[in-house]
Amino acid sequence: MSYIALTYLDLALAAVLVVINGILSLALRLNLEKQLTIATVRMVAQLLLVGLVLKTLFALVSPLWTTLVAAVMVGFAAREVMARQHRRLSGFWAYGLGGASILVASTIVMIFALTTQIAAEPWYHPRYALPLLGMVLGNTMTGISLGLDTLTSNLVRDRAAVEARLMLGADRRTAMQTTVRGALRTGMMPTINAMSATGLVALPGMMTGQILAGADPVEAVKYQILVMCLIAGGTSLGTVGAVLAGAARLTDGRHRLRLDRLRQPES
């Protein structure tokens, strides 16, 4: 298997495209050049750091270090879920609910993949575990954040309708059924759209990278199918768990809507 090695000059030439974006921002007065510069510098620094960390981890092959890095990744993903909420749950729930959903979903999916389809030796080898975890986490994080944000926003908007159902004798599950279903659909839709467009409209990054590295296209397709199935499983498990737990948190045992458990949105 042969591949084309990239030099730093090649990367510098690719960065010219980002510079052009900045010039367009200045010319059109979009005021995005500063954000674009910061985002580019962060991307390069973060990826270079990740490359050095992964190189060290690949040499160590330690379950302890693999677990620690995975825990850091899950922690940052949970923080991103919290940061993307317009109306957050109060207290530790704002961080803990999303974090717990991500942790459970990603753990189930990763153990399933690493001990069956991938069958790595050892199963915790960071060369396999961490890249797969990163792809699953990114999509699961998006699904959970969209689901929770839709749930809380729609409950505030439809408060009168939900409370009317409760006063007419409906239990909290029945009263919130429409809202919960809408939140679940919103959380899962990006993954469904991505699966529908994969291959026909877009070639995913993992598959493209393998092909550019010299892998057989059919083998690259097999891995991409596996990854998309893992992403779909992690996203659905995480979104369902987070939305149902959020709905339970925003009601109580007396079947009352508890929007007082939401923080006021930041201006």
Q: Per-residue pLDDT tens for 198-207?
A: 887 777 777 8
Q: Which residue has the tokens 């994969």?
A: 198
At 60-110, the pLDDT tens digits run: 888 999 999 999 999 999 999 998 888 889 889 989 999 999 999 999 999
The rounded Cα 125 to chain-centroid distance in angstroms is 22
pLDDT tens digits, 167-176: 998 999 999 9
In this prediction, residues 157-173 reach a mean pLDDT of 91
Global pTM reads 0.85
Q: Would the pLDDT of 267 be above 60?
A: no
pLDDT at residue 134 tops 70: yes
Region of 173 please: left (phi>0), alpha (psi -120 to 50) or beta: alpha
| Cα distances (angstroms) measured from residue 75 to each of 141, 144, 146, 252 | 11, 14, 18, 28
User: Contact, 95 vs 82, CB < 8 A?
Assistant: yes
Q: What is the pLDDT of residue 122?
A: 86
Lowest mean pLDDT among 127-131, 222-226, 254-258, 263-267: 263-267
Rounded Cα distance between 187 and 242, Å, is: 10
Q: Residue 199 contacts by C-beta under 8 Å, 6 or more apart in sequence? A: 221
> Of 173, 151, 175, 177, whose CA–CA distance to 161 is shortest?
175
The sign of the CA dihedral 97, 102, 105, 107 is: negative
pLDDT one-digit tens code per residue, 11-54: 999 999 999 999 999 999 999 999 999 999 999 999 999 899 88
User: Rounded CA gap, 47 and 44, in Å?
Assistant: 5
Tokens 């995913």: give the residue: 204
Tell me: pLDDT of 157 over 80.
Answer: yes
What pLDDT, on a 0 to 100 scale, did the predictor assign at position 3? 65
